[in-house]
Chains A and B, each alone.
Chain A
Amino acid sequence: MAFSLTGILAVLLEFLRPFLLPLAVVAVIELILIVVLVLRRGTLRVRPAVRLAAGLGVAAAVLTTLLLPPWTGAGLAQLSGLLDYAAVIGGGIGLGVAAGLALYPPLQLFFRRP
């Protein structure tokens, strides 16, 4: 059975449906923070904020990788073969990137020149 990109996105939308409201709130807050950061761009110390956000993103990726199988009621010992490891690591990387991107704007507010 072929799945179109629209079909896959429709499934993702249904998967996220219970969380859409909190996700929308987070997205609005992020947007406001980004606007604030753009307005204060001259006072920002970007490098330490990016480093910290990246570090937390990596931590989130590792944690997600380790917790994905137990989240489904399975154990790490039940992973078998390339497919399972790729899915777990891919999921970890994806959520790690998302966490890093989401954390950067609030973290950046703490790294400003006096």
Chain B
Amino acid sequence: MKPFRFFQPVAPADAGMQPGRRHFLALSASGAVLAATGLGAGALLTAAPVRAVNTQARIVIVGAGAAGISLASRLSSGLDGAHITLIDSREAHYYQPGLTLVATGAWNASRVVDSNSRYIPSGVTWIKERIQEFDPDNNRVYTESGRGVDYDYLLVATGLKLDFDAIEGMDPGLIGSHGIGCVYDNPDHAARTWQAIERFTRTGGVGLFTRAPGAIKCAGAPLKITMLTEHGLRRAGNRANAELHYFQPDRSLFSQPDMDEFLKEHFPQDRGIAVNWEHRFTAIDPGRREATFATDDGERTLGYDFIHVVPPMTAPDSVRNSALASEEPAFAGWLEVDRYTMQHRRYPNVFGAGDVVGTPIGKTAASVKAQVPVAATNLISLIAGREMTARYNGYTSCPLITERGRGILVEFDYDLNMVPSFGFISPYEEHWVPWLMKDRMLHAAYNAMLRGRI
């Protein structure tokens, strides 16, 4: 366990330079070069020469989210002559990593709304329908209108489903009213959550922050919403009038152990947030503003002024009820893939990426960035009759925003080892730079990923 260094007193600039002047100068020079060369980036970005594989294969990609569009971009450039079909009814594209910033008032909702048509490569056929059924034994999928689409290769990138029905009394229409917030799913939910949080930071009272059991997308989001709300209360000068509780269904706040250890101290000691272990959120009574939790000692009902609801998440019904779903207890219902190759374990012409896959970790946009090149490269190898050599190491990343203006860039893999992309950004220290990345750079990186460039 490396020591964490948070809330360091801000040293004078010259004092900070003493121990590592050389390192500092190198960092400054890097920043200057990056900023100065930025204007010429476009000219240098001619596409790298790629030898596309010739094929007449029919490839169907289900889902036009981050993973689906990135796959379409990569396969379009990596294959010559393939018939690529993308199936999804959604025309709008949401930059979901920005929803925490919308839900805490740092961004307007319009900043996370984009259009799928801007990113889908030309030459890809887009069927604007929802998927109804997978029939992998006959290499066919059916859309909601009953249309059958045959394929030689299938890529499943449907994303996941938020199961609000699993919480008695909860309905997504309640978000923004009755003190209820939920950062997940779309900009409307996030914007309405900000309305509720903004009210709460003015009035104070009891704030409850839940976390669903099982795999959820962006598992850091419930923690970020909690810390940013706490910071909002401080900014409003109202922290003393609020009591904050975080409810964890198990006994771990974060899957990466160093970060888990840090948060277990940080929440109660530095932020005054009480952590309630082994509390599973089961029901809500919006009228009475009461939330009920299942615990080992029975049900526990608490009143609230604000509650952040995190619903359980599952694979979409079309995947869950199909032969593609895993039956392994740990990943039951999720798309069954080999965690390293992203290839389906029983249907070799099927691959998956994104939130829908049954891997131990990896329901973030950063995981998509790591999974998509693996799935696309291995599919191209399979088509070309070559050995599949690309491997996904479980990479995931969470810019854990601790307050507006600061965060920690946490990156780790299947072994839960920290794997920082940039050696000069410590995953053990709170800095402004991860916030800068989250606020200004990661959206650009995400768009580059959609275009298949990173």
Contacts and interface: CB of A to CB of B under 8 A. Distances in A.
B146 interface: no
B42 A16 contact: yes
B24 A73 contact: no
Interface in A1-25: 1-3, 6-17, 20, 23
A109 interface: no
Contacts of A81: 8, 11, 16, 429, 431
A93 interface: yes
Given A7-B448, A69-B432, A89 B31 contact: yes
B35 A7 contact: no
Contacts of A106: none
Contacts of B106: 73
Contacts of B421: 1-3
A85 B24 contact: yes
B292 interface: no
Contact of B453 (A1, A7, A89): A7
Interface in A63-90: 68-69, 72-75, 77-90
Main secondary structure of the interface of B (DSSP, over half): helix
A83 B33 CA distance: 16
A7 B454 CA distance: 5
B8 A91 contact: no
A105 B289 CA distance: 65
A69 B41 CA distance: 24
A83 B405 contact: no
B369 A16 contact: no
A50 interface: no
Nearest to B7: A80
Given A3-B454, A73-B106, A78-B406, A84 B433 contact: yes
A65 B370 CA distance: 34
B10 interface: yes
Given A85-B13, A90-B32, A80 B38 contact: no
Contacts of A95: 35-36
B27 A11 contact: no
B20 A14 contact: no
A84 to B, nearest CB: 4
Contacts of B431: 80-81, 83-84
Contacts of A97: 32, 36
Given A74-B405, A80-B8, A90-B27, A11 B441 contact: yes
Contacts of B435: 72, 74, 78
A85 B31 contact: no
A74 B16 CA distance: 20
B405 A87 contact: no
Given A13-B42, A93-B31, A83 B433 contact: yes
A32 interface: no
Contacts of B451: 10, 14
B430 interface: yes
A101 B404 CA distance: 34
Interface in B18-74: 20, 23-24, 27-39, 41-42, 44-45, 48
A72 to B, nearest CB: 5
Given A1-B419, A74-B405, A82-B27, A98 B8 contact: no
Nearest to A24: B42
A72 B447 CA distance: 20
Interface of B: 8, 10-11, 13, 16-17, 20, 23-24, 27-39, 41-42, 44-45, 48, 106, 366, 369-370, 395, 397, 403-406, 411, 419, 421-422, 424-426, 429-433, 435-436, 439-441, 443-445, 447-448, 451, 453-454
Interface of A: 1-3, 6-17, 20, 23, 27, 68-69, 72-75, 77-91, 93-95, 97-98
Given A74-B406, A91-B32, A94-B35, 11 more contacts: A1-B366, A3-B421, A11-B454, A73-B106, A79-B10, A82-B17, A83-B424, A85-B13, A87-B27, A88-B432, A94-B34
11 contacts: A3-B421, A10-B45, A10-B453, A12-B34, A15-B444, A69-B432, A72-B432, A78-B435, A79-B432, A87-B27, A97-B32
